[in-house]
Amino acid sequence: MSDPSVHKLVIIGSGPAGWTAAIYAARAQLDPVVYIGVPKQDPGPILPGGQLMLTTDVENYPGFPDGIAGPEMMDQFQQQALRFGTKIVGQDIVRCDFSTTPLTLYTSKDEVIKAHAVIVATGATANWLGQENEMRLARSGGGVSACAVCDGALPMFRDQPLAVVGGGDSALEEAHHLTKFASTVYLIHRRDELRGSKIMRERFTSKPNAEVLWNKVVVDVLGDEKITGVLLEDTKTGEQSELTLKGLFIAIGHTPTTRFLQDSGLAFDDKGYIKLETRASTTNIPGVFAAGDVADANYRQAITAAGMGCQAALDVEHWLGDQNLI
């Protein structure tokens, strides 16, 4: 039987995948412990609860015909997991050694945790262009952000010209959100075709203060203490032009949160997502499972993350049973 000082299951991450895994695991009496992480700026906000904490209305999760605010949804997931006895720890896991049996995890308070099974559900965080002035103004609160939903309502952006970089659903969602506050919202996209879905495209472009700037990239962000504009380059002609702005929002996709796993022995795919084996949630390491955006470069939806969390919990239950650990 299992050593009582060793957790049966540790879940890292507290988005839809982590909480769904916790609900299933707790109901299966696996006594899951969820490391929800601590809030941080890196340089944008990273919150326990994940990307949905930065989302206003979730309209495509079945069961909520009128939509639901992202943070409220995550609170409800958490309450449901708690109802069945899930334990919650407000720390980060900063390093993992999966070469040991049981598995070893190190927390941000220098604690060493042992677990028979781990579900990694740490999601993904927003990408940046990576330019010097962009990062400087993002860190200083100078009007550059990777989250319009979090920052767009600030007084500094009211009735001002704002821009969103990107052409996917995130960019369209952010740009649409900003049309409520801005004088004009420019969507700066590097191609002549948007990647985002038709409904999101139409929602944004139907607004009178929306404008798409096609075939443009931001080559510099202008301004000392606050952004005053961007230098754009046309990807077809190479021509450069300045655009006056009071706010710039970057929405160019996400990177999976896996830095703390670099020395763990886990395998990653060529985009840096955790590589899954043939079973839905299994990784290259026995006892280590992954779910949600951290292992999904394709769908990255709340509902698919929740489904993956369910699969991971069921896979853990089978695996612990096969090992005679439950």
By annotation, the residues acting in catalysis are: 147, 150-151
Question: Is residue 92 a contact residue for ligand NAP (CB under 6 A)?
Answer: no
Could you say which residues in the range 48-87 bind ligand NAP, by CB under 6 A?
Answer: 60
Smallest distance, ligand NAP to C-beta of residue 64, A:
13
Smallest distance, ligand NAP to C-beta of residue 7, A:
32
Interacting stretch for ligand NAP, rule CB under 6 A, among 40-48, 187-195, 236-244, 282-290? 187-195
Could you give the CA distance from residue 138 to residue 130 in angstroms, rounded to a whole number?
Answer: 11
Smallest distance, ligand NAP to C-beta of residue 34, A:
24
Interacting stretch for ligand NAP, rule CB under 6 A, among 189-197, 220-228, 276-284, 314-322? 189-197
Smallest distance, ligand NAP to C-beta of residue 68, A:
13
**120 versus 165: smaller Cβ distance to ligand NAP:** 165
Q: Please state the φ and ψ torsions of residue 46, each to the nearest 5 degrees.
A: -125, 120
The residue sitting closest to ligand NAP, measured at its beta carbon, is 168
* 190, 226, 275, 279: residue in contact with ligand NAP (rule CB under 6 A): 190
Smallest distance, ligand NAP to C-beta of residue 187, A:
10
Smallest distance, ligand NAP to C-beta of residue 24, A:
24
Are 38 and 133 in contact, with CB atoms under 8 Å apart? no
**164 versus 313: smaller Cβ distance to ligand NAP:** 164
**169 versus 315: smaller Cβ distance to ligand NAP:** 169
Q: Give one word for 322, left, alpha or beta, with left for phi > 0 and alpha for psi -120 to 50.
A: alpha
**102 versus 166: smaller Cβ distance to ligand NAP:** 166
Could you say which residues in the range 158-177 bind ligand NAP, by CB under 6 A?
Answer: 165-171, 173
- Which of 310, 281, 278, 311 is closest to 295 using CA atoms? 281
Question: Is residue 195 a contact residue for ligand NAP (CB under 6 A)?
Answer: yes
* 23, 34, 103, 129: residue in contact with ligand NAP (rule CB under 6 A): 129
Are 202 and 119 in contact, with CB atoms under 8 Å apart? no
Question: Is residue 191 a contact residue for ligand NAP (CB under 6 A)?
Answer: yes
**6 versus 297: smaller Cβ distance to ligand NAP:** 297
| Number of neighbours of residue 129 by Cβ within 10 angstroms | 19
Could you say which residues in the range 201-260 bind ligand NAP, by CB under 6 A?
Answer: 217, 252-254
**Chain residues in the site for ligand NAP (CB under 6 A):** 60, 129, 165-171, 173, 190-191, 195, 217, 252-254, 300
